[in-house]
Each structure stands twice: as structure tokens, then as C-alpha cells.
Amino acid sequence: MKFNQIDSDLLNTIASITEVPKGAVNIRKDGQPLIRMSSPNIIIKPKEDKPGIDVIVKPGTKNESVHIPVLVTQAGLQDLVYNTFEIGEDADVTIIAGCGIHNESHQDSGHDGIHEFIIKPKARVRYVEKHYGAGSGRGKKVLNPTTVVRIGSEAYAEMEMVQIEGVDDTYRKTIAYVEDKAHLKIVERLLTHRRQSAQSDIEISIEGKGGSAQILSRSVGKDESYQVFKASMIGKTECTGHVECDSIIMGNAVIKAIPSLEAENSEAVLTHEAAIGKIAGEQLIKLMSLGLTEEEAVNTIIEGFLR
């Protein structure tokens, strides 16, 4: 299968795909399946009652990956999709998701992805989701992902959610439940510029004894953009949780960081750090002393910060 140039650029940016990847794949374009392939251990099947897919990873599956990128290139399309991931006991998989919107029109285009993860005991999952907008149209590129995760006992999930650039409006909602001795790590990277707006609400409830969770958020707000980051960690039993939100603010951007901790058990250990500030002058000078221009130094610092 050969992708057209726009599809190819979007796929490369959001999922590092230049050709159809091996293993289980589901590429959705403009509300329709473009490619769908299961593998012996990972079954992808369409939902019967609503748009979307079920991804079922058989117990014990090791070192396999699933690619499920979404493309929106049709002017004015508001795509809505429900995806469910069931990761079998003791499986170890990587899920590469992401959405790229290309909008050359004056109509808004958007994608709302509602994801549910059921991670069975002792499974390990790495989930990578990149969001990106391109095209010179006046129409907005809007992405509103909702993610619900339930992590079974002794399971591990690492979720990396990145908004690279070009997304005008986003509201991300992430809810997670962590059971006995399970661990969840959420890494969020966000860049907004011009008049873009981004809100991210993350709520993690650690419900099982010995469970742990981390939220690490880094964002850069440029120009006139606006960001709100809310991170809520609830410890219901003996557990550990940490929230860290770090932002670089530039131009006339506005950034709000609202970490929240709630301990419902005296054995819960919950911590948070939050910092918002401009790029330190000494960092710029240091990189300029190595020969970078001021603009190159700023870009290098931001690139590293959001890596």
C-alpha cells in the first residue's frame, strides 16, 4: 500500500511510519478504516454498536507492537471513535497511537478519541500517543482525547502523550485506576503557540495496596497561547504517588498548573512539584557560548525540555 504525500507526512510525524508496519495495524482515515490487520496474538476487530475497534492482546504475548494511528484530512470532519484495549495477563506490548490532522479549509476539523484500557495482572504496556496538526487553512484543528485506564495487580503501564504542534484546541481527559502493586507512569509533553488552547485533566486513583503512580508533565506555552494542567492523585491505601509539572512560559502565554493530592489512608505517600518560568538566561548564554544563535539556543532548550 502506498500513502499519498499528506498521509505519509502525518504518519511519519505521529507514528514514525513510512510504510505499513509489521504486526497488528489499524490506520483510520477520515472516519473510515484504511488498513486493518491482526496478528496471531493481537486481534483487532470493529465494534458493532459504535465506531471504533477492540484490540485484544492474548495473555503471555511478548515484545509485540500495535500501530493504530488516525488521520483526518477531510475539511470539516468531526471524527469520533471508541477504542478498547484489553491486554492479557503477563503480556508485554507497545501501542503506537496518535492523530494527525491536515486542514487546508476554513472549516474546523477534529478527532475525539475515547480510549479504554483494561490491563490484566502482570501485563506490561507502553502506550505512545502523538498529536499533530498541519495545513494552512483558517479552520481549527481540534483534538479531544479521553483515556480511561484500569491497571490490574502487579501490572505496569507507561503512557507517553505528546502534542507536538499545530493543534489549535485540545481538551485531554485521563482517568486511571491502579490496583495492588501495579505501577502507572504518565508522561505528558505539550507545546502551544499562537492563540492555541490546551487543557489537560489527569486523575489517578491508587486503589490497591503497594500501588504507585507518577505524572510527569512538561509544557511550553508560546505567543498568546493558553494552557491549563490539572493533575489529581488520590491514594486510597498504602501507596506512593508523585506529580511533577514543569512549564516554560514565553511571549504572552498564560499557563495554569493545578496539582492536587488526596490521601485517604495514613500509609499513602503523595508528593508534588510544580514550576512555571521562562528560559533561564544562563542556559541561553551557555549554549550561545558554544556557538548557537539565541534563536537556535531557545529551540534547543525547548526541544530537549519536551523530549
Partner 1 sequence: MLRLEQVSMSVNDSNGGNKDILHNIDLDFTSGKLYAITGPNGGGKTSLAKVIMGIYDLSAGQIFLHDEEISHLTVSERAHKGIAYAFQQPPRFKGLTVSDLLKIAYGDIDIMGLRKSLRDVGLCPEDYLDRDVGPGLSGGEMKRIEIAQVLARQATISIFDEPEAGVDLWTIQRLIGIIVNRFKDNPNCTAIIITHNENVLPICDEIIVLEEGRIRDRGTYQEIWPSIREDIECKRRLECRGEFGYEI
CA atoms lying within 13 Å on the CB side of residue 68: 26
DSSP 273-291: EEEEEPPPHHHHHHHHHTT
Least gap, CB of 195 to partner 1 (angstroms): 26
Between CA 25 and CA 35, with CA 31 as vertex, the angle to 5 degrees is: 25
Q: How far is CA 301 from CA 257, 289, 306, in A?
A: 21, 14, 9
Q: How many C-alpha atoms does 208 have within 13 Å on its Cβ side?
A: 20
If the CB atoms of residues 164 and 182 are measured against partner 1, the closer one turns out to be 164
Under the criterion CB under 8 A, does residue 4 sit at the interface with partner 1? no
What is the nearest approach in angstroms of partner 1 to the Cβ of residue 231?
18
Q: How many other CB atoms sit within 10 Å of the CB of residue 227?
A: 25
Residue closer to partner 1 (CB basis): 49 or 295: 295
Q: How far is the CB of 132 from partner 1 (least distance, A)?
A: 19
Within 214-253, the residues that bind partner 1 by CB under 8 A are 218, 246
Instruction: Select 77 or 292, whichever has its Cβ closest to partner 1.
Output: 292
Q: Which is nearer to partner 1, 77 or 274 (CB)?
A: 274
Residue (37 or 306) nearer to partner 1, CB = 306
- Give which of 158, 141, 153, 22 is closest to 74, Cα–Cα: 141
Does residue number 258 form part of the binding site for partner 1 (CB under 8 A)?
no
Q: Is 256 a residue that touches partner 1 (CB under 8 A)?
A: no
Instruction: Build a one-symbol-per-residue string for 77-106: x at contacts with partner 1 by CB under 8 A, - elsewhere.
Output: ------------------------------
Q: Which of 265, 205, 199 is nearest to 233 (CA)?
A: 205
Cα–Cα nearest to 191, from 168, 158, 216, 175: 168
Measured from the CB of residue 151, what is the shortest distance to partner 1 in angstroms? 27
Amino acid found at 35: I
264 binds partner 1 (CB under 8 A): no
DSSP alpha helix (H) spans, 38-193: none
Q: Which of the ranges 7-15, 20-28, 37-45, 284-292 carries the binding residues for partner 1, by CB under 8 A?
A: 284-292
Residue closer to partner 1, measured from CB, 258 or 285:
285
Residues that bind partner 1 (CB under 8 A): 218, 246, 280, 282-283, 285-294, 297, 300-301, 303-307
